[in-house]
Amino acid sequence: MAEFLNTYGPLIVSMVLGALLGLSLYLPLMTGQLSLASPGFYALGGYIAAILSTQVFPTNEGSFPIPLLLLEMLIAAIVSGILGVLVGIPALRLRGIYLALATIAFVEILRVLSLNLEITGGAVGIFGIPQPFASPIEYLWVALPLLLISMFLLYRLEIIRFGRAFVAIREDELAAGAMGINPTYYKVLAFTLGSILAGVAGALSAHFLNTWNARQGTFDASIIYLTSVLIGGSRTFVGPVLGGMVFTALPEILRAVAETPGLPIWLAQLLRDGRLIVFGVLIVLGTIFFPQGLVTPDLLKKIKRQEQ
Amino acid sequence: MKKTTAFFAGLALFLSACTQTNSNTQTSSISQGIPIGVALAQTSNVALLGQEGIQGAKIAEKYFNDKGGVDGTPIKLIVQDTGGDETGAINAFQILINQNKVVGIVGPTLSQQAFSADPVAERAKVPVLAASNTAKGIPEIGDYVARVSAPVSIVAPNSINTALKLNPNIKKVAVFYAQNDAFNKSETEIFQKTLKDKGLDIVTVQKFLTTDTDFQAQATNAINLKPDLIVISGLAADGGNLVRQLRELGYKGIIIGGNGFNTSNIFAVCKASCNGVLVAQAYSPQHSNAVNQAFRAAYLQQYKKEPPQFSAQAFAAVQVFVEALKAVDKRSDIAKMSLDKLRTELNKELLTRKYDTPLGEIAFTPVGDVIQKDFYVAQLQVDANGNNGKFASVPK
């Protein structure tokens, strides 16, 4: 058990971070808005933590104090929240594919900025980010509560007035407006909540990865997380959590499977060298056979009924 | 309610397990071969570089095992793919350290990956030898991190010296660099600093992206300022196209290419326009020592072309591990040592020795940076129809 945790500690932490990013993409999707801006805020949060911990806070020897890490996450949340409102108000006037395009543009702007600014270290990025924990797995002390709290809040959100309003807008924006729901307000709210979550996850990731650069949170990452949300299921918060975790872990699981003794050589070779191909095939099969995602509200209801 | 309590109890158990520290006290099982990890990219957009490294390491494995390995015990390379990103490098390192129980690691491919994964090895006290990380600050990551790849700050200035020798009247210099690539960004800083130190006048600094194909705007801007020398930090595809367009727009002076030009792929891109471009190299296939001749012959036989720099550097990294292991074994039998002890001893030993590698004679500074004796400046020579190109070394 200890050896398993030692080997796969970082993977478990990245799975939790993946789930958080999945949730941050899911929030705007709750109101039916296809926004790909989350990775941008993820990158922003990471840069905030990286700059604060390497340049602003005193870097004494030994491990980085955890309260400062939490402070960084708070600052990242506030900055992402403010920027989320500023970007959200104009961007959410767009719908569907145009919103997706605008948010991709936003992510690109942040990337080009971070490549050109002195403070972000250009293409090399920021390195030597101090570590608050002795081993990677201990990041779970922060990451796991963060995920559980977010999941609990989303669970609550789905059954209170705000959540109902989100769903109403997703199902029919005009009808929702006619019922006295202010669509812009709720859409910006969902977008901003998603940005805050992404920013906080980014701040934690910067410490976890030891380094931060412009290759984090790019357009490619947006697509991977969008896929994980869609395949996990975009109608309930369990879907993105599951999707984010599975998609982060899958390439590594395939690597581990390839190492199992007794496999025919060609199969082991395919799993090891061609694991990204297998990964891609699984995505295609997932979208064909689970168009609503793996976890749907119907499925959850069925499980509940069986329990009773 | 009961379920929730059980869930949180399980969670608490899991988290308390997280804080346990694992220590490797058992002796390393090296009878079937001493495991040396290779964490390089076999997939993603840096796979080309990673595969060159793996080729070099594999040739080293065979070469040293044919010579008897470490006093009779063969070495065994274990390759784990890092992909092109930071998480991939961390995962590969974790598996090599905890599961494959390697004595040391060669890798990762990119400097950015090294900034991410090397601290993992540092904390686990596993020696890492970088074979292709050239950015500033790599050996400084920790005591267990060293590199055989000479930093850009040492390699790059050589080509400027050569250019000044070829044309002592150079005054005005135009600098180009790919701003979205970490390596080229740090390389151009070194180039610009060297140019300033030589008292040359940098008339313009033009930026481009590694994905660009049209450089007319930047090239025209630079040529209008009438530079005597142009220094380019870019990768093969973009850099090659830039050279071609500079020549087409009528630039006649000397061009210096950065390390990104250090591949035979460049000839396919710029054909005859590349003739005469100067490139500084950390490795030359023509180096005359015995180990390089053997390495070059083995590489030529297997891949039918001259060995590239990354292969030679990976070979050198494996060689450093093998020779240091031999030295440790001489003092006390490594088969009886615990894995933790062996890793620490190996790390201490490898920094103190001198090695005669395909790169020439190398040693390490106390912090773990390479001290390399020989550097080379090559001139690209392409025949008029642009089909056959080669790197011809320029006498110093």
> DSSP of chain A, one letter per residue?
-HHHHHHHHHHHHHHHHHHHHHHHHHHHHHTT-----HHHHHHHHHHHHHHIIIIIS---SSPPPHHHHHHHHHHHHHHHHHHHHHHHHHHTTS-HHHHHHHHHHHHHHHHHHHHH-TTTTTTT-B--PPPSSSSGGGGHHHHHHHHHHHHHHHHHHTTSHHHHHHHHHHH-HHHHHHTT--HHHHHHHHHHHHHHHHHHHHHHHHHHHS-B-TTTT-HHHHHHHHHHHHHH-SSSTHHHHHHHHHHHHHHHHHHHHHHSTT--HHHHHHHHHTHHHHHHHHHHHHHHH-TT-SS-HHHHHHHHHHH-
Q: Choose from A3, A4, A6, A247 for mutation: most chain B CBs within 10 A.
A: A6
Contacts with A213 from chain B: Cβ below 8 Å: 112, 182
Contacts with A2 from chain B: Cβ below 8 Å: 17, 20, 22
Token readout for B280 is: 């500084």
The Cα of B238 is separated from the nearest Cα of chain A by a number of Å equal to 17
Contacts with B85 from chain A: Cβ below 8 Å: 215
Domains of chain B as residue ranges with CATH: 34-150+288-364 (3.40.50.2300), 154-281+376-393 (3.40.50.2300)
pLDDT at A294: 85
> What separation in angstroms does the CA of B251 have from each of B163, B221, B241, B260?
16, 12, 14, 21
Query: Which candidate, B146, B101, B150, B147, places its Cα nearest to that of B122?
Result: B146
pLDDT at A220: 78
How many whole angstroms separate alpha carbon A59 and alpha carbon A66?
13
| Nearest residue of chain A to residue B47 (CA atoms) | A273
A164 in contact with B, Cβ within 8 Å: no
Token readout for A101 is: 């395009």
**Sequence-ordered list of residues with C-beta below 8 angstroms from that of B60, at least 6 positions apart, any chain:** B295, B314, B315, B318, B319, B322
Determine the 3-state secondary structure of B112 from DSSP: helix
The pLDDT of residue B386 is above 80:
no
The Cα of B302 is separated from the nearest Cα of chain A by a number of Å equal to 21
A27 in contact with B, Cβ within 8 Å: no
CATH 1.10.3470 is held by the domain A2-307: yes
pLDDT at B26: 46
Q: What is the pLDDT of residues B52-111, one digit of tens each?
A: 999 999 999 999 999 999 988 999 999 999 988 899 999 999 999 998 999 999 989 988
A191 in contact with B, Cβ within 8 Å: no
Contacts with A209 from chain B: Cβ below 8 Å: 86-87, 90, 116
Q: What is the pLDDT of residues B182-237, one digit of tens each?
A: 888 889 999 999 999 999 999 999 999 888 899 999 999 999 999 999 999 998 88
Query: Which candidate, A229, A214, A188, places its Cα nearest to that of A99?
Result: A188
Q: Say whether A2 and B137 touch across the interface (CB within 8 A).
A: no
Please name the member of B18, B99, B135 whose beta carbon is closest to the beta carbon of A137. B18
How many whole angstroms separate alpha carbon A128 and alpha carbon B281?
29
If pLDDT is split at 50, 70 and 90, which confidence band does B21 have? very low
Label the pairing between strands B254-257 and B229-233.
parallel
How many whole angstroms separate alpha carbon A194 and alpha carbon B356?
56
Q: Say whether A10 and B18 touch across the interface (CB within 8 A).
A: no
Contacts with A272 from chain B: Cβ below 8 Å: 81
- Domain ranges in chain A are 2-307
pLDDT at A254: 82
The Cα of B169 is separated from the nearest Cα of chain A by a number of Å equal to 34
If pLDDT is split at 50, 70 and 90, which confidence band does B31 have? low
Q: How many CB pairs under 8 A join A and B?
A: 107
| Nearest residue of chain A to residue B110 (CA atoms) | A124
> What separation in angstroms does the CA of B302 have from each of A18, A43, B307, B359, B363?
42, 44, 10, 20, 29
Q: What is the pLDDT of residues B122-171, one digit of tens each?
A: 999 999 999 999 888 899 999 999 999 998 888 888 999 999 999 999 99
Beta bridge partner(s), residue A10: none
| Nearest residue of chain A to residue B210 (CA atoms) | A123
Contacts with A273 from chain B: Cβ below 8 Å: 42-43, 81
A280 in contact with B, Cβ within 8 Å: no
Q: Say whether A10 and B90 touch across the interface (CB within 8 A).
A: yes
Contacts with A127 from chain B: Cβ below 8 Å: 112, 115, 137
The Cα of A122 is separated from the nearest Cα of chain B by a number of Å equal to 8
Task: List, in sequence order, the alpha helices (H) in B232-276.
Answer: 236-248, 265-270
| Nearest residue of chain A to residue B95 (CA atoms) | A7
More confident residue, B384 or B238: B238
A215 in contact with B, Cβ within 8 Å: yes
Please name the member of B21, B43, B112 whose beta carbon is closest to the beta carbon of A276. B43
Q: Say whether A209 and B111 touch across the interface (CB within 8 A).
A: no
- Enumerate residues 255 to 274 of chain A having a beta carbon within 8 A of any beta carbon in chain B: 255, 259, 272-273
Number of helical (H) and strand (E) elements in chain B, helices listed first? 13, 15
Query: Which candidate, B388, B384, B392, B391, places its Cα nearest to that of B268?
Result: B388
Q: Choose from B8, B93, B115 for mutation: most chain A CBs within 10 A.
A: B115
A138 in contact with B, Cβ within 8 Å: yes
Q: How far is CA A273 from the centre of its chain?
A: 27
Per residue of chain A (308 residues), what is the pLDDT tens digit?
777 888 888 999 999 999 999 999 999 999 999 899 999 999 999 999 999 999 888 766 677 888 999 999 999 999 999 999 999 999 998 888 899 999 999 999 999 899 888 898 888 889 989 989 888 889 999 999 999 999 999 999 988 999 999 999 999 999 999 999 999 999 999 999 999 999 999 999 999 999 999 888 888 788 888 888 888 888 889 999 999 998 888 888 888 887 777 778 888 777 777 777 887 888 888 888 888 888 888 888 888 888 87
pLDDT at B30: 61
Beta bridge partner(s), residue B363: B371
Cβ contact B82:B51 at 8 Å: no
